[in-house]
Amino acid sequence: MKRCRPWCALIFSLTMFAIAPARDELTLQQQIDRVIARGETRFVIPPGEHRLPAGLRLRNLKNFTLEAASADAPATLIFTNLRDGGIFATDCDGLTLRGFTIDFDPLAFTQGTVESIDPKKREITFALHDGYPDLAPHFLTGRAHLFDPATLLWKTTAPDIYATSARALSPRRGILQFAANPAKNEEFNAFAVGDYIALDFRHARGIRVERARDLRIDNLTLHSIPSIAVICRFMEGDNVFNYKILPGPPPPGATLPRLLSSSADGLNYAYARTGPVIENCDFSRMGDDSVNLHGIAFYVASSSNDNRTLHLLRPYGPEAFPSVIRPGDEVRGLASDSFDVKGRSTLAAFRAEAAPPPGARELAASVWKSVAVPSGKLTSYRLDLDNPLPLSTGDFVEIPAIAAPGYIIRNNRFTQHRARALRLMSSHGIVEDNTIEDIKQSAITIGPEFTFAREAGWVEDVVIRHNTLRRVALDPALQRPSAYTPGAISVFHRGEMPSAPLPAMRHKNIRIEQNTLTHTGGPGIHVNQAQNVRIVGNTLSDTNLNTRPSASSLYKLTTGQPVAVDNSTDVTLSEP
């Protein structure tokens, strides 16, 4: 077993943990708790920087506001523990967070310049930029982001980078190594001497809200965040978001700007009975999507003989699904291969079980392959139905009522980041008057990620109008035979495997109207597996800049035109 070098262990201890404040100091958490204990409903954060060794907890609050005094008296919360920072709010009704800034020190990433490339060893050697964190072990996962040093944008000729291994040569120099197989050629060949790279860390949160309603996140600014900037789970009511994500100032000693803001999504919102209202936001430089809205695809472990009781699996500890799943909710049974809807019923009861059924752990290990899934954790849920729903082990269940239906995404700017701008798996939404530019992958996708992430679901009643999309979907991965979202705007479906049969189920009632799209790698608009789609009045130019003949061929999709339609019916298509 390899031992961590002494300097490596020292870096780890200094960057991952923080020194507690002196006992005679009143921490910000204690100040907030005292205000709450007095029955007050507002806490004004004192102006200035507040260095916090642990995350702030807000629990069981009613109509409470945490805010900065004013723009003239700014307040910044700087969290010093990458494993426990940010704000964690649970069981709150009417919580408002307003007017302050969140950042982390140490930063949740480091960055540097490619020094040399060794084609024989398949190694990339890089040196870190002055002022940015040393190569602690948590940065050496192999995940990297590659940037053009002239524009500081994600390099458009580079796919996502997942090196086979990463190691430190010293605190300031490291190596990414790529296996000698064709699957890694595109990644390795994307590097050039002088390119900038960033290595991120994903663990904690900027803001996490669970089991809440009527949330307001108003005029906040988030900088470096280890993982998702804002994550919401098990939500109800009217939840409104207006905030900024941007890299923040260079650290002391740095001569180059920060390349990243949050390590993952800008807003990830799921398992909610109501969708969010996202207005006047400005998100940039994240390591993943701007917005991800989704529901859940429960795995069916077993079914009763009368098909009225299902035992469902999740590879996590107990979660608050019983707080949002209600009797009378529609339950859709999904085929294991195509995710076609095998049948529908309504829910009678839902609860977590004391223990998973026999063999459940082996099943879970075969179904959830993501490295992000916690190992060894598993919860079984019992779902009772009003009417029989014939399903087998390996099938899935989705419950549309908790897939964040009824959302508005309006008048926002999403720019300069990895992955997709809007990853929408929720129904009954409006997406309008947004500017989306310099996005590595598709700008807007509608459709489920039933495979891999097991996120639901089938989508209906969505309007996409008056949006401006520039320089998007240029990632070469979108030209691979395995690509399934080839368009800048993509309505999509994919089965468990590309060879899975096409389902009878379709996304329904999609309106793509009066959008402006320019400079796209593949089609401006691609629609697959949909019904009753209206594509009207859109202005497209400079599309299909990178289209390859083999693009999306595993899914038998057509990608050679500015607007392409596959496996869909009742599609209305007209120019402006």
Note the pLDDT tens digit of each residue in 136-184: 999 999 999 999 999 999 999 999 999 999 999 999 999 999 999 999 9
Question: Among all chains, which residue has been given the structure tokens 């949050």?
Answer: 262
Structural domain spans, the chain = 10-105+203-264, 109-200, 295-401, 415-574
The backbone torsions φ and ψ at residue 177, rounded to the nearest 5 degrees and listed phi first, read -120, 140
Secondary structure (3-state) at 31: helix
Q: How far apart are CA 358 and CA 368, in angstroms?
A: 18
Query: How many CB atoms are closer than 10 A to CB 355?
Result: 9
Gap between the Cα atoms of 413 and 534, Å rounded: 25
Q: Which helix (H) or strand (E) holds 468?
A: strand 468-472
Taking the CA atoms of 23, 27, 31 and 33 in sequence, report the sign of the dihedral they define. negative
For 285, the 3-state DSSP assignment is coil
- Dihedral sign from CA coordinates of 104, 105, 109, 113: positive
For each of the chain's 576 residues, which pLDDT tens digit applies?
Answer: 344 444 444 344 434 434 344 434 789 999 999 999 999 999 999 999 999 999 999 999 999 999 999 988 999 999 999 999 999 999 999 999 999 999 999 999 999 999 999 999 999 999 999 999 999 999 999 999 999 999 999 999 999 999 999 999 999 999 999 999 999 999 999 999 999 999 999 998 999 999 999 999 999 999 999 999 999 999 999 999 999 999 999 999 999 999 999 999 999 999 999 999 999 999 999 999 999 999 999 999 999 999 999 999 998 999 999 999 999 999 999 999 999 999 999 999 999 999 888 888 888 888 877 656 666 789 999 999 999 999 999 999 999 999 999 999 999 999 999 999 999 999 999 999 999 999 999 999 999 999 988 999 999 999 999 999 999 999 999 999 999 999 999 999 999 999 999 999 999 999 999 999 999 999 999 999 999 999 999 999 999 999 999 999 999 999 999 999 999 999 999 977
Backbone angles phi, psi at 316, to 5 degrees: -140, 170
* Cα distance between residue 370 and residue 381, in whole Å: 21
Comparing CA positions, the residue from 140, 155, 165, 141 lying closest to residue 190 is 155
As a CATH number, domain 295-401 is 2.40.30
Q: Which residues fall within 8 angstroms of residue 514, CB to CB, at 6 or more apart?
A: 465, 466, 536, 537, 538, 576
For residue 402, the one-letter residue type is I
Under CATH, what is the fold of the domain 109-200? Elongation Factor Tu (Ef-tu); domain 3 (2.40.30)
3-state secondary structure of 186: helix
The pLDDT tens digits of the residues spanning 362-387 come to 888 888 776 566 667 899 999 999 99
Amino acid at 316: Y
**CA dist., res. 289 & res. 488, Å (int):** 14
Instruction: Give the span between the Cα atoms of 402 and 235, in whole angstroms.
Output: 9
Residue 86 near residue 204, CB atoms below 8 Å? yes
User: Residue 289 carries which side chain, given as an amino acid letter?
Assistant: D
Q: Could you give the CA distance from residue 413 to residue 283 in angstroms, rounded to a whole number?
A: 6
CB distance 414 to 421 below 8 Å: yes
Backbone angles phi, psi at 454, to 5 degrees: 60, 45
What residue type is assigned to position 259 of the chain? Answer: L
For residue 381, the SS3 value is strand
Structure pTM? 0.95
Residue 416 corresponds to which tokens in the numbers above? 């300069």
Alpha helices by DSSP H, 159-205: 185-189
Element (DSSP H or E) covering residue 28: helix 28-37
Alpha helices in 464-564 (DSSP H): none
Block residue for tokens 């050679």: 560
**Listed residue (292, 285, 380, 300) closest to 335, CA to CA:** 300
Strands 341-352 and 379-385 turn out to be antiparallel
**Could you give the residue ranges of the DSSP H alpha helices within 298-452?**
360-367
> What H or E segment, with its residue span, contains residue 178?
none
Token pair for 60? 């069981």
Can 109-200 and 295-401 be said to share one CATH topology?
A: yes
